[in-house]
Amino acid sequence: MTHGGVPASGGVLSDVWIKIDGIYYYCRGEAPDGSPRLAPLNHPPYGKTVYGLNSKNGLTVEKLPYRLRTATTVILAAAALALVLIPLALAGSDPILAWTATPVAVGALLLLAVITQTAHLRPHDAISAAEAQQAADQAYINSEYDAAERRARQQAASAHNTQQWQAAVWAQTAQINQTLNPGTDTYRPYGQSPPL
């Protein structure tokens, strides 16, 4: 298990950004087969610490400066325009709608800007074949265990009901035999009733 990029037992770093020969990757840790789980990034992880691996310098560590992506800048400009244009467009006709629509539109655009700026930092990588097989095996084991537990509970309930039914039948048979033949012993399948 890893936390904050520190491997638990000498494995691959987790939750770190890596630059290998000019290409940025996000490392999720180590797959069960021992390979690192790397997901390529479309954009540099601005504002993050990046571990660089290259053939010239070996391992380098650099903190990328924080910078807004172009799409984020466009969305923030649209939010500023919405902040000005919506009240101007609706002020003459419906001021209540203007005061309601403005915060909703600007808030939605600001949320979109945050998502656009940060969504690429932790991309979803395709899991390895070993991880997929391990997950499938674990799901099968869990389902078999649950099914066996249900069967055991059902069999225990069935056996308990059968024992109660047999005890009731034997008690009725013994009562009938005692009524028909008072003072004599009654034999059941598993011995004498009442026992000696």
For residue 81, tell me if it sits in a domain: yes
Angle at the Cα of 155 (from 152 to 161), degrees rounded to 5?
140
For residue 4, tell me if it sits in a domain: no
For residue 125, tell me if it sits in a domain: no
Domain's final residue, options 25, 46, 67:
67
- Between 31-40, 68-77, 84-93, the lowest mean confidence (pLDDT) is in 31-40
For residue 106, tell me if it sits in a domain: yes
Global pTM value: 0.51
Judgement on whether residues 107 and 141 belong to the same structural domain of the protein: no
Angle at the Cα of 144 (from 139 to 146), degrees rounded to 5?
95
78 versus 7: the higher-pLDDT residue is 78
76 versus 56: the higher-pLDDT residue is 76
Judgement on whether residues 137 and 180 belong to the same structural domain of the protein: yes
Judgement on whether residues 43 and 87 belong to the same structural domain of the protein: no
Judgement on whether residues 87 and 38 belong to the same structural domain of the protein: no
Residue 89 domain boundaries? 70-120
Judgement on whether residues 105 and 56 belong to the same structural domain of the protein: no
pLDDT at 93: 83
Judgement on whether residues 145 and 182 belong to the same structural domain of the protein: yes
pLDDT at 126: 62
List b or e across 115-138, with b for residues whose CB sees 16 or more CB atoms inside 10 angstroms: ebbeebeeeeeeebeeeeeeeeee
Domain count, the chain: 3
Q: Which tens digit of pLDDT belongs to each residue from 135-145?
A: 788 888 888 88
Other CB atoms within 10 A of residue 188 CB: 15
> Can you tell me the distance from the alpha carbon of 21 to that of 38, in angstroms, rounded to the nearest whole number?
14
Judgement on whether residues 138 and 155 belong to the same structural domain of the protein: yes
Judgement on whether residues 113 and 144 belong to the same structural domain of the protein: no
pLDDT at 3: 42
Give the whole-number percent of the chain exceeding pLDDT 70: 81
